[in-house]
A and B are shown apart, each in its own frame.
Chain A
Amino acid sequence: MSNGIYGIEIAWLDAVIRLHIIVGLMTVVVMGLIYVERKILARFQQRLGPTRTGPAGLLQSVADGLKLVGKEDLRPRNADPWTFELAPYMVFIPVFLGFVIVPFAFGMQVRILELGLIYFVATSSLGIIGWVMAGWGSDNRYAMIGGMRAAAQGISYELPLVLSLISVAMVSESYNLNDIVLSQSTYPNLLWQPLVLVIFIIAGLAELNRTPFDIPVGESEVVGGPFVEYSGIRWSFFFLAEYAALFIMGLIFAAVFMGGWAWPLGEELGRGWQILLVTIKTSLFIFLVFWIRASVPRLRIDQLMSFSWKILLPLAFLQVLINGAVLVYEAPLWILTITGMLGIVVLVRLIERAVRPQPVTNESTVSIGNESVS
């Protein structure tokens, strides 16, 4: 444990100060992320994005925030008051709890927990309760369908996510995020665990309810799902939670797979450089998420479930077993790289086999030509 920042020795005071810094940081980062997402998505779609508020639309998030604060806080008459009003906090607080363990640079985190990864997974899965509460409490059928979808999806994708993190923890021989980062100062984990990286990104997208897994909020089907009855500041809490979760997932990605602040320039760097490195790696993940959002359609709920249980979960289990065997018998780590690569090939094959349609008629391709009217 550290001795605290700025010489403050009292542990709880130190923690409170750090948490306050995190809250401020998180708000600013979320506002930035919303702006960046809108700009990047716009660019992918050959649009301009926000331009009217401030130079190049920089103040768009501020304007949005002001608008949301100014809006009336509506509650449907038939809604369950407690469930409805508490749901945004139930979504937001678990996300915020996740910030306790994420490392921004050496020593720059709220607390170094020995079971950091387990803590992260445990807190992030709590958010599902909030989604279900929002879906159930709104007394809206779209919201209810959305809430149920969120529950099903959250629980299913929790497992591949946990298993992927466990695989990495096995290689790094620790659950402590600080130690995981330090263990990667020469080679990042993604070198040893390419399959796990893919599984982490897919499961992470599902955890974040991002395209192609934005089924609970599916704009064109359930019109925002659990959020459909929320307005104003409560709605903005959902938004805050969504982007904060994205930010945390990026930070975990940077720390667990990309070597955080330690790789590739070693752990002796100055703090500024460390923060820069982590920022770049986090941005990479976030950019990927935005990129995928602009490019792929949404899956259907049954396809989503079968993909998780039939493809991702067995592969993740297999990786854990292989990791165990390699580590117990102290085989060279490059075996993991090769098996991981093979795993990715298998994953791609399985996905392509899964989408190949079962033929209903004789052939399912479009033929061009003139056939007689039947």
Chain B
Amino acid sequence: MVVESTPGFETQDLLINVGPQHPSTHGVFRMVLEVDGEIVKDLVPHIGYLHRGAEKLCENNDFRQGVGYMDRTEYLASHNAELSYVMAVEALAELEVPERAQWIRMILCELNRLSSHFMFLGAFGVDVGVFGTPFIYAWREREAIIDLFEEISGDRMMYAYFRAGGLAWEVPGNFEERVREVLVSTRQGMKDFDNLLTRNEIFLARTKNVGIISAEDAVELGMSGPTLRASGVSLDIRKAEPYMYYDQIDFDVPVGTNGDVFDRYLVRLKEMEQSVHIIEQCLARLDDGPIMPERMPRMLRLPEDQEIYVRTEAPRGEYGIYLVSKGGNKPWRLKVRSACLSNLQALKKMSVGQYVADAIIILGSIDIVLSEVDR
């Protein structure tokens, strides 16, 4: 907008509203951009469009019912979300999870990390501007993984498969064989992405040195997951505070150096290779055995006046559950520490001074799930 006031011209910044209905806000995120020409001067994010009160709902539901709500806080990586919840309950109830259940949980969580990262690659590729192709590549591989989840748990997104103590039921007989099949197609999908994007000059031009955030800023903003590691901080909860059997597994943590959009893309792609590696090791260690503890009460009750914070490495970063129990079969207070919400704090810092088109891919590179941000 050009406004004539004095004998010359005076310019005024333009406000653009992006979202909640916009093709690349990954759900119902809204940001108001203040732009000077094509340069972003200021950015105001607005969240809360998807708030359902999942934490409060969990306070009114017992520990089996709560799992279903956890699925819905992180619908792209439901297994990982369930895991934090059941681990918190198990820790308070002092339940010993059988070995087989732990291995299966690890396999499913890593598979879910793969499917979630595929979703990121697809959506990110579309944000950068390839017409749909990455999305379909991603969907192709995600479909294979989700089909496997459906064969195991019966549902494609809201699995409700982990239970405090173990698993809801046994995996089907051909589980190992099917996982190996999925890994083959996953490798092909990763290769396709690598060929399609990683070395493409236009992709490099768009993503390199865009949306840089330094390691210090990233740590101060409480970022976690691949978004943090792209800035050069090698913090992976699977390594730093191993849970389940991650301490018995050999894997690397890919770390970026530049902290730009390209690093966030590449770290995720490398992380997927590591996930495949982890799943293979888990499959080798998988043994027969029970999937639930032998002495499992019909209705799980937690001891009085206990609290715990459990965190796991979900695909988007630290997914933490803070659980306060005052006895009974329901949590007295449940708080979800969402990685997406913390990562989103960095959006303004990354975007100001960049182009409008960059603000879009920076948002894409954070890989938010709005249901986790708003809960």
A214: B residues at CB distance < 8 A: 129
The 8 Å CB contact of B16, one of A141, A295, A368, A369, is A141
B129, closest chain A residue (CB)? A298
Question: What 0/1 pattern do residues 137 to 160 of A give for CB contact below 8 A with B?
Answer: 000011001000000000000000
Q: How far is the CB of B19 from chain A (nearest CB, A)?
A: 11
Beta-carbon contact of B253 and A370 below 8 Å: yes
In the complex, whether B125 has a CB less than 8 A from a CB of chain A is yes
Does any Cβ of A come within 8 Å of B184's Cβ?
A: no
Q: Which of A41, A355, A362, A372 contacts B201 (CB 8 A)?
A: A355
Pairs of residues from A and B, 5 with the lowest C-beta to C-beta distance, nearest first: A298-B129, A357-B208, A45-B136, A297-B128, A220-B24
A371/B203 contact (C-beta < 8 A), A214-B129, A218-B129, A300-B358 known: no
Give the CA-CA distance A215 to B128 in the complex, in Å.
11
CA distance A245 to B254 in the complex (A): 47
5 extra A-B contacts, CB within 8 A, seeds A351-B201, A357-B204? A44-B133, A145-B38, A223-B23, A296-B130, A301-B38
- Bound-state CA distance A220–B258 (Å) is 25
- The distance in angstroms between the C-alpha atoms of A363 and B17, with both chains bound, is 36
Q: Does A358 have its Cβ within 8 Å of any Cβ on chain B? A: yes
Residue of B16, B38, B135, B257 touching A365 (CB-CB under 8 A): B257
Is A46's beta carbon under 8 Å from chain B?
yes
Known A219-B23, A300-B357, A372-B234; contact A361-B202, beta-carbon cutoff 8 A: no
Contact A361–B258 (Cβ < 8 Å)? yes
| Chain B 177-195 interface 0/1 with A at a Cβ cutoff of 8 Å (1 = within) | 0000000000000000000
**Pair A371/B23 contact, Cβ less than 8 Å:** no
CB distance from B93 to the nearest CB of A (A): 32
B256 contacts the other chain (Cβ, under 8 Å)? yes
By a CB distance below 8 angstroms, the chain B residues around A44 are 133
Q: Give the chain A neighbours of B197 by CB distance below 8 A.
A: 297
Checking B38, B202, B209 against A357 with a beta-carbon cut-off of 8 angstroms, the contacting residue is: B209
Determine, out of B71-79, B103-111, B263-271, B278-286, the stretch whose residues face the partner at the interface: B263-271
Pick the most buried of B14, B258, B270: most chain A CB atoms within 10 A of its CB.
Answer: B258
Q: Which of B83-128 contact A (CB under 8 A)?
A: 125-128
Complex Cα distance A297/B132, Å? 10
B133 & A294 in contact (Cβ 8 Å cutoff): yes
Bound complex: CA A214 to CA B357 (Å): 12
Q: Contact at B23–A220, with CB atoms within 8 Å?
A: yes
Q: How far is the CA of A262 from the CA of B240 in the complex (A)?
A: 71
Chain B 192-228 interface residues, beta-carbon cutoff 8 Å to A? 196-197, 200-206, 208-209, 212, 215-216, 219
Is the Cβ of B232 less than 8 Å from the Cβ of A295? no
Which residue, of B137, B201, B215, has the highest number of chain A Cβ atoms within 10 A? B201
Chain A positions within 8 Å of B235 at CB level: 373
Interface residues of A in 333-374 (CB under 8 A from B): 351-352, 354-355, 357-358, 360-374
Do B252 and A45 touch across chains, with their CB atoms under 8 A apart?
no
Contact among A295, A355, A367 for B133, CB-based, below 8 A: A295
Q: Count chain A CB atoms within 10 A of each CB in B129, B133, B136, B140 and give the residue with the most.
A: B129
Question: Within the assembled complex, what's the spacing in Å between the Cα atoms of A215 and B232?
Answer: 32
- B263-A366 in contact (CB<8A): yes
Q: Verify A363–B38 contact, CB threshold 8 A.
A: no
Q: List 11 A-B contacts (CB under 8 A).
A: A45-B133, A145-B38, A214-B129, A218-B129, A219-B131, A220-B23, A296-B202, A297-B128, A297-B200, A364-B209, A369-B252
Q: Which residue of B lies closest to A45 (CB)?
A: B136
Once bound together, how far apart are the Cα atoms of A300 and B210, in whole Å?
Answer: 12
Whether B339 is near chain A, meaning CB under 8 Å from some CB there, is no
CB proximity of A373 to chain B, nearest CB, Å: 5
Q: Kindly state whether residue A268 has any CB partner on chain B within 8 Å.
A: no
Q: Report the separation of the CA atoms of residues A175 and B355 in the bound assembly, to the nearest whole angstrom.
A: 41
Cross-chain contact A299 with B205 (CB below 8 angstroms): yes
Most B Cβ at <10 Å: residue of A221, A294, A303, A364: A221
Q: Closest approach, in angstroms, between the C-beta of A294 and any C-beta of chain B? A: 5
CA distance A215 to B358 in the complex (A): 12
Please report the C-alpha to C-alpha distance between residue A369 and residue B236 in the assembled complex, in whole angstroms: 12
Please state if A371 and B24 are interface contacts (CB–CB under 8 Å): no
> Would you give the 0/1 interface string for A21-58, flagging 1 where the beta carbon is closer than 8 Å to chain B?
00000000000000000000100111100000000000
B206 lies within 8 A of A300 (CB): yes
* B360 is an interface residue with CB less than 8 A from chain A: yes
Q: Residue among B24, B131, B136, B255 with the most chain A CB within 10 A?
A: B131
Q: Does A234 contact B (CB under 8 A)?
A: no
Cβ of B356 < 8 Å from any Cβ of A? yes
Q: Which of chain A's residues have a CB closer than 8 A to the CB of B132? A: 41, 45, 294
- Take A360-B258, A368-B254, A374-B232 as given contacts and tell me if A211 and B208 are in contact as well, using a CB distance cutoff of 8 Å: no
Report yes or no: B38 in contact with A298, Cβ–Cβ below 8 A. Answer: no
B131→A41 contact, CB < 8 A: yes
A330 at interface by CB-CB < 8 Å: no
Tell me if A374 and B216 are in contact (CB < 8 A). yes
| B206 close to A296 (CB less than 8 A) | no
| A 205-224 binary contact with B (CB < 8 Å = 1; else 0) | 00000011011001111110
Q: Is the CB of A141 within 8 A of B14?
A: yes
A297–B203 CB distance below 8 A: yes
Closest A residue to B21 using CB positions: A223
Given contacts A47-B136, A220-B24, A366-B254, contact A352 B38 (CB under 8 A): no
User: Within the complex, what minimum Cβ distance (angstroms) separates A363 from chain B?
Assistant: 6
Q: A355 CA to B357 CA in the complex, in Å?
A: 17
The listed residue (B202, B204, B209, B357) touching A212 by CB distance below 8 A is B202
Min CB–CB distance B237 → chain A (angstroms):
12
Nearest CB of chain A from residue B11's CB, rounded to whole Å? 14
Contact yes or no, B129 A220, CB < 8 A: yes
Tell me whether A364 and B255 are in contact (CB under 8 A): no
Complex CA gap A358/B212 in Å reads 13
Q: Does B335 contact A (CB under 8 A)?
A: no
Say if the beta carbon of B158 comes within 8 Å of chain A.
no
Q: State whether the Cβ of A281 lies closer than 8 Å to any Cβ in chain B.
A: no
Cross-chain contact of B202 among A218, A293, A299 (Cβ < 8 A): A299
Residues on A with C-beta less than 8 A from B22 are 223
- The answer to whether the Cβ of B233 comes within 8 Å of any Cβ in the partner chain is yes
Residues of chain A within 8 A of B128, CB atoms compared: 220, 297-298
Residues in B neighbouring A358, C-beta threshold 8 A: 209
B355 close to A296 (CB less than 8 A)? no
Q: Are B234 and A300 in contact (CB under 8 A)?
A: no
Contact residues in B for A215 (Cβ distance below 8 Å): 357
- A364 lies within 8 A of B232 (CB): no
Partner of A221, one of B133, B240, B255, B356: B356
